[in-house]
Amino acid sequence: MAEQSFMKSLFHGVIAEELISPWPESSTEEREQVQRLVDSVRKLAESVDSAEIDRTATIPPEHLRKMKDLGLFGVPIAREHGGLGLGRGASARVVSELAAIDSSLAVTLGAHLSIGLDGLLMFGTDQQKRKYLPRLATGEHLAAFALTEPTAGSDAAAIQTRADPSPEGEGWILDGGKIWITNGGVADLFTVFARTSPPEEGTKPRITAFLVERAHGIETGARATTLGVRGASTTAIRFDRAQIPGGNVLGDVGRGFRVAAAVLDGGRVSLGAQCVGLCKRLVSMAVARCGERRAFGRAIGQFGLIKDKIARMMVDTFALESAVFLTAGMVDAKIADWSVESAICKILGSEALSRVAHEALQIAAGAGYMADHPWERLLRDARAHLVFEGTNETLRCFVALAGMQSPGRALSDVTRAMREPIKGFGLLSDFAIRKARSALGRERVHRVHPLLNKEAVLFEEYTVELQRNVEKVLRKHGTEIAEMQYTQRRVADIAIDLFAVAACLSRTTRAIEKKGEEGARREIELTTAYAAGAAERMAQNVRAFERNDDELLKSIASRTYQDGGYPFDAP
């Protein structure tokens, strides 16, 4: 029942180990090229004043010019179109390093490289690519992604922006508006999503993706005032009977959902990479603070509770980095489906960053609260990642439902086959084989180094728990599972931890093989620590499938809605 997706296979209890091991590595030539890019990016730090960018809510033009000169805006674009022709892993490495310097620079570049460009790279015609990619590769033009509307965020089906065929029949007329568009005020090319079917009650709209040039009637709103990442240009845009050439449809008419989903997958990997860069910077700042600040006659870094914070920050960052770059490697290896993995990167990344930023401010103490130090700005910047590219609540539902979709179909097929046993004989035989295999023992991993055997066994055991509980809740709730978000969250959280453990095992196995046990001691310890924490969380989630307070919490929320807020006076 294995699919060309590591995580979707895992929901069947199948460990498609060949998709994650050996750890993905690029060619020597590409590694050297990426390292030169990274070294050049690090030199930018000498001239970037992030406090000034935050204060003025503007990126100085010279920073963008230096980024253009380095070729950063063309990292994933083919050489034939003027780009560097590098893979997803290279793009992730570049935006990660840039995020360690300044979030506004990283978000501006990341929005261009991933959600801005991906639609054109994946679905564009040869003619569209020849027309637009050369200027996008040099940074002469920037790209942006326009999906969100006041009534349509995570629910893309609620889009109201319309595109109607022009009277001449040679193009489209675009009307409507989008909000919170990253690069909205500076982009020259937008991937815009609009309804191309009549608004009929009870029917799913047909959405189409368009390549829209700024010259085609885009009106840009004022820059939004944001909590963090203030230098990035975030604006509303409006279309008032904008004329779009017929050749600017991206993909097929009415198939825009497919384009949007594919583009957002790539954006979530990029966002996870930005979280990696910010986490690394915060860890370094916290370590420096541990040596500078003294209490009771010694450096605070010598105290146990501070060591605990530093250790947990390191574990979070290591697991996140492993998950992000494993997923990027899957993309570069042309694995067919990495949608669940990319969503996990975004959830894992934004929540790890939130914890790391919080603990860094605790270590900084009073200085962390002061606006003349960078800590509070980095905390504000970190907050944006929890809502970029889809809220984590929505993405948890996606991880669970996308993972359970195929097991659900399998159970449905088996149920039908049991009603018609002769027609369904082959299907029932396959199901019996899988059940017999699981009865004989759990799926095993074979490519993990023996030094990591304890963690490998833990991964195997909780893979069984994931499959067993998915099957149980699907049999119990059937199609109603789509509304059971408490259960979805538990399924998703187990899946998130399993993927992070798998990524750490793959990465650390490679480290042991290259450097030996002592050389890879730090990777081994970080993997052991993450797996131990994951085991506690997964055990709690497994227990909660049977024993939980879901209905009590729903009741409290419902009563609070009725009361219009907190109903009690002070006692």
Q: How far apart are the first and last CA of the chain?
A: 59
Q: Which uninterrupted H or E stretch holds 192?
A: strand 189-195
Give dist(CA 39, CA 94) in Å, integer. Answer: 10
DSSP states of 343-389: HHHHHHHHHHHHHHHHHHHHHHGGGGG-TTSSHHHHHHHHHHTTTTT
Q: Decide if 389 is catalytic.
A: yes
CA distance 144 to 61: 18
- For the CA atoms of 389, 245, 151, 265, the dihedral, rounded to the nearest 10 degrees, stands at -20
Nearest to 172 by CA among 257, 253, 261: 253
Structural contact between residues 354 and 382, judged by C-beta atoms closer than 8 angstroms: yes
Side chain identity, residue 370: M
- Which positions ≥6 away from 488 have C-beta within 8 Å? 396, 397, 400, 401, 481
Is residue 461 helix, strand or coil? helix
Distance CA 378, CA 371 (A): 11
Backbone angles phi, psi at 517, to 5 degrees: -60, -50
User: Comparing C-alpha atoms, which of 483, 500, 508 is closest to residue 344?
Assistant: 500
Please pick, among 149, 213, 389, 465, the residue that the annotation labels catalytic: 389
Burial environment of residue 492 by CB neighbours within 10 A (0 to 12, 13 to 18, 19 or more): buried
Closest CA to 92 of 355, 258, 323: 323
Instruction: Name the residues annotated as catalytic.
Output: 389
